[in-house]
Amino acid sequence: MSLRWIYLILLLFVMGTSALASSGAEAGHHDGGIPDVVFRQAINFGIFALLLHFLLRKSVVGFFANRLQEFNKKANAAQDAKKEAEIKKSGLVNRLSDLNSTEGSSMEKAQKEAAELKSKILAESQRLATQIKTDAKKTAELEFVKAQDELMSEFLGQVLETAEGDLKSKVTSSDQKRFQQEFVSRVKAVH
């Protein structure tokens, strides 16, 4: 028995128990204990939770696993950029200490270079952080839309299968002949 049939049977069961749970007027009287309405609602909720678990489990886990990988890659890139900046900073600090012993004009020149390099590094870090945020937001939106589309197409497929089965079981051969004759007469009327 395929997974699709199991989902269809569960869906039909849930729909039937939902109808029973919505008729709470009969369950107004009870002799203590848990009322029937509460019991039916608990069953409905449990079935609904199981359906959500089985339908969304793989896509949600996959989505968050991909997001974690992307985040780790970008965090590693940021960490590497930070290490590189620290190395450059230590080089500049060493250079400044060397220049400190020389004349004042060399010191001013080195400070200007350090300030320029610092502003470039900060600008690049800011750009990288903004890009990470933008990419993460776009990815989350795309995955959400993709998950919605997958669920909708699966739901529509199940509805079509159910409707086709109902039509096959309820339409008799005389109804089918009558439909064919009506179709032919309408096609002739158009031409």
pLDDT (average), residues 15-27:
55
pTM: 0.30
Looking at residue 30, its pLDDT comes to: 54
Looking at residue 177, its pLDDT comes to: 85
Residue-averaged pLDDT of the chain? 82
* pLDDT > 60? residue 18: no
Q: At what angle do helices 36-100 and 104-170 cross, to 10 degrees?
A: 160
Asked whether residue 88 is domain-assigned, the answer is yes
Asked whether residue 185 is domain-assigned, the answer is no
* pLDDT > 90? residue 188: no
Asked whether residue 182 is domain-assigned, the answer is no
* C-alpha–C-alpha distance, residues 167 and 17, integer Å: 24
- In the chain, the amino acid numbered 124 is E
- For residue 164, what are the domain limits? 3-26+34-168
Looking at residue 133, its pLDDT comes to: 92
Task: Output the DSSP codes for 21-85.
Answer: HH-TTGGG--SSSS-HHHHHHHHHHHHHHHHHHHHHHHHHHHHHHHHHHHHHHHHHHHHHHHHHH
Looking at residue 28, its pLDDT comes to: 52
Asked whether residue 176 is domain-assigned, the answer is no
pLDDT digit string (tens) for 164-176?
Answer: 887 777 777 787 7
* pLDDT > 60? residue 23: no
The fraction of the chain above a pLDDT of 90, given in percent, is 31
Asked whether residue 191 is domain-assigned, the answer is no
**How far from chain centre, in Å, is Cα 95?**
51
pLDDT digit string (tens) for 98-150?
Answer: 766 666 676 788 788 989 999 999 999 999 999 999 999 999 899 999 999 99
Looking at residue 29, its pLDDT comes to: 54
Asked whether residue 179 is domain-assigned, the answer is no
Asked whether residue 92 is domain-assigned, the answer is yes
In angstroms, how far is the first alpha carbon of the chain from the final one? 48
> pLDDT higher for 21 or 191?
191
Looking at residue 104, its pLDDT comes to: 65
- Which conformational region is residue 33 in: left (phi greater than 0), alpha (psi within -120 to 50 degrees), or beta? left
Looking at residue 141, its pLDDT comes to: 92
Provide the residue count of the chain.
191
Asked whether residue 189 is domain-assigned, the answer is no
Count of domains forming the chain? 1
